[in-house]
Amino acid sequence: MPNPLVAPPGVDLVAMGADLAPGTLLAAYRAGLFPMPDDPMAQGTKIAWYSPDPRGVLPLDDLVVSRSLRKHVKRFDVSHDTAFHEVMLGCAAENRPGRWITDDFIAAY
């Protein structure tokens, strides 16, 4: 995987091609890249690899939850790792504007 840090400033697209195999996805995420199809509506489209700048990352190992955040989060249902497949299907719905998740992405994840 290419190093996104050597991309020119303001350039989010850092590579084209490759596949969605588990090893490829893991290497990409470790490098700070995420995949999107070049043209989600076209069959056999190439995979585009992006690293947006700036990028939001939550360092969970060092995350400090303040007292005020703990107080406010009680108003919300916070969950993780639930209904992943259903969320992917919802994001891939044909009537969803800007959708980019294809059947290939659903199968890969």
Express each pLDDT in 83-96 by its tens digit.
Answer: 999 999 998 998 88
Long-range contact set of residues 84-87: C-beta below 8 Å, sequence gap at least 24: 84/109
User: Model-level pTM greater than 0.85?
Assistant: no
Q: In 3D, which of 103, 100, 108 has the Cα closest to residue 37?
A: 100
45-99 pLDDT per residue, tens: 789 999 887 777 777 888 888 999 888 888 888 788 889 999 999 989 988 888 8
